[in-house]
Amino acid sequence: MAKLIMSLDNAVIREMALEKERVTIGRKAHNDIQIDNLAVSGEHALIVTILNDSFLEDLGSTNGTLVNGNPIKKHILQNNDVVEIGKYKLKYMTETPAGQTSVADFEKTMVLRAPIGRAQQAALAGSFGDTQVSPSPTVTTQSQPPRMAAAAVAKHPDKLAAIQILTGPSAGKELELVKNLTTLGKPGVQVAVITRRPHGYFITHVEGAHFPIINGKALDAQAHQLNDHDVVELAGVKMEFFLKNG
């Protein structure tokens, strides 16, 4: 569960767990988080928590709500965001350590449905414009580490590789294989593609009647992993694949 750590002049005042779906912040006593300070409006801001996401909304306060120094109207809170209300700082922290959930747990597509006639749904729709959903009671709460963080891992092999043209008019020219896909050859005549993958570089035939020749042997339709100093022959031009140092 996420929590807020309230501080004033770098001194921590208190910690609050976001246990309720709606947590109000303001100067008046009926707020869930009361901040008794004249710079804070009576009803200053609202935090709605749906599953693992918390949404912060400024309720038209006089002095505004800042997140990480920027004024906001609506904002999805991210781990370690600092919300400023008056001179008070509220640090938002999620308590889901990344990587603790098993892969199978968080990938399943889940459906959100609006149970009819729920007061909370109306409240939610009111707060966030045309949103028509509220979490169905059957949806289980699961911790979901952001996918893209993992996606960035090991997308490319450690070593950079290049192709050097050996014959023909551009002999001696070098081409670094920095992109995920590098095409070689002449469109309409013969084209092959070299794909850069986590475990190496692979060459595959794309178009043309003839298949590329690697070290004197013609490829089939399958991708072929390239090794250092392999010689590729394509549309009558020979070229060498090699790994670069560093």
Partner 1 sequence: MGTTLAVALFHNNQVTVGHIGDSRLYRLRGDTFEQITRDHSLLQEQIDSGMISKEQARYSQNKNLVTRAVGIDPEVETEIHTYEVQAGDIYLLCSDGLSDMVLDEDIHATLGTLRANLPLAATQLVQLANDSGGRDNVSVILVRVVQEFAVRTGWLAKLKAWFK
Q: What residue ranges bind partner 1 (CB under 8 A)?
A: 50-53, 55, 74-76, 78, 103, 106-113, 128-133, 144-151, 153, 155, 179-181, 183, 187, 191, 193, 195, 197-198, 204-207
Q: How far is CA 136 from the centre of its chain?
A: 25
Token output for 232: 């590729």
Strand bridging mode 22-26 / 33-34? parallel
Q: In the complex, what is the shortest distance from the CB of residue 76 to partner 1, in angstroms, rounded to a whole number?
A: 5
DSSP state of 159: S
Whichever of 39 and 64 has its CB closer to partner 1, that residue is 64
Q: Is 226 exposed, middle or buried (0-12, 13-18, 19+ CB in 10 A)?
A: buried
Whichever of 205 and 224 has its CB closer to partner 1, that residue is 205
Cα–Cα distance, 106 to 144 (Å, whole number): 6
Q: In the complex, what is the shortest distance from the CB of residue 212 to partner 1, in angstroms, rounded to a whole number?
A: 13
Whichever of 37 and 78 has its CB closer to partner 1, that residue is 78
Whichever of 33 and 194 has its CB closer to partner 1, that residue is 194
Residues in the chain, how many?
246
C-beta of residue 94 within 8 angstroms of C-beta of residue 19: no
Q: In the complex, what is the shortest distance from the CB of residue 166 to partner 1, in angstroms, rounded to a whole number?
A: 24
Token output for 119: 């007061």
Q: In the complex, what is the shortest distance from the CB of residue 120 to partner 1, in angstroms, rounded to a whole number?
A: 16
Whichever of 29 and 152 has its CB closer to partner 1, that residue is 152
Q: In the complex, what is the shortest distance from the CB of residue 187 to partner 1, in angstroms, rounded to a whole number?
A: 7
Q: In the complex, what is the shortest distance from the CB of residue 224 to partner 1, in angstroms, rounded to a whole number?
A: 13
Q: Which residue pairs from 19-22 have beta carbons closer than 8 angstroms and sit at least 24 positions apart in sequence? A: 20/49, 21/48, 21/49, 21/50, 21/120, 22/46, 22/47, 22/48, 22/49, 22/123
Q: In the complex, what is the shortest distance from the CB of residue 169 to partner 1, in angstroms, rounded to a whole number?
A: 24
88-93: strand order across its sheet: 11-17, 3-8, 88-93, 82-85, 65-67, 70-72
Three-class DSSP category at 105 = helix
Whichever of 147 and 159 has its CB closer to partner 1, that residue is 147
Whichever of 52 and 63 has its CB closer to partner 1, that residue is 52
Token output for 235: 């549309």
